[in-house]
Amino acid sequence: MKVGILLEEIFDEREFIYPYFRVQEDGLEPLVIGPESRAYKSKSGWLARAEAAAGEVRAAELAGLIIPGGYAPDRLRRSKEVLELVRAIDEAGKPLAAICHAGWVLISAGVIKGRRLTGYHSIKDDLINAGAEYVDEPLVISGNLITSRGPADLPVWVRAFTAAIQKQ
């Protein structure tokens, strides 16, 4: 089963690398997706390559989607194709995992109103103003939406995501 991992400039390398390898340990195949199929630079300058452009990927091809944080989410949410993919994954009820600043993508995709979630504390007001119930917990699951606050929460976040994939 393929799981998408979104990528854009200024991504947090921990929030990309950790799930990239953890999903493989659980027998899943990561598909790295960006607004374009090209290399993107992390916050520290490390490069990772998106194998596919968001406009080329259909929700039906994926078992779930991971949105890493850093400052990449501010760029990801500017892509119409990325937002369409996020909405399609959510509408299909497939596991949708967001960590740290990735809540910005969820806001722009219009998928958080009335849902309980968490994220990095600096976007708390953004999440609340978009209609979410914000809680400061390491892991919050609201239906198919799986959210965490930041790098310290990576183990519980990815474990919850892969468990949700296995339940499908």
pLDDT in tens, 87-103: 999 999 999 999 999 99
Nearby residues of 58 by Cβ (< 8 Å), 6 or more positions away: 88
E-strand spans in 100-154?
116-117, 133-134, 140-142, 145-148
- Residue 155 makes CB contacts below 8 A (sequence gap 6+) with none
Phi, psi of 163 (to 5 degrees): -65, -40
Say what percent of the chain tops pLDDT 90: 99
Q: What is the pLDDT of residue 16?
A: 98
Residue 95 DSSP symbol: -
In whole angstroms, what is the distance from residue 97 CA to residue 16 CA? 12
- Per residue in 41-93, pLDDT tens? 999 999 999 999 999 999 999 999 999 999 999 999 999 999 999 999 999 99
Instruction: Give the whole-angstrom CA distance, residue 123 versus residue 69.
Output: 12
Show the tokens assigned to 104. 């910005």
Q: Is 121 a catalytic residue?
A: no
Contact present, 6 and 35 (Cβ < 8 Å): no
**Sequence letter at residue 82:** V
The domain 2-167 having CATH identifier 3.20.20.60: the answer here is no
Whole-prediction pTM: 0.98
- Supply the pLDDT for residue 164: 98
Which of the residues 22, 77, 101, 115 is marked catalytic? Answer: 101
State how far the alpha carbon of 129 is from the alpha carbons of 10, 105, 125, 134, in Å: 25, 14, 6, 10
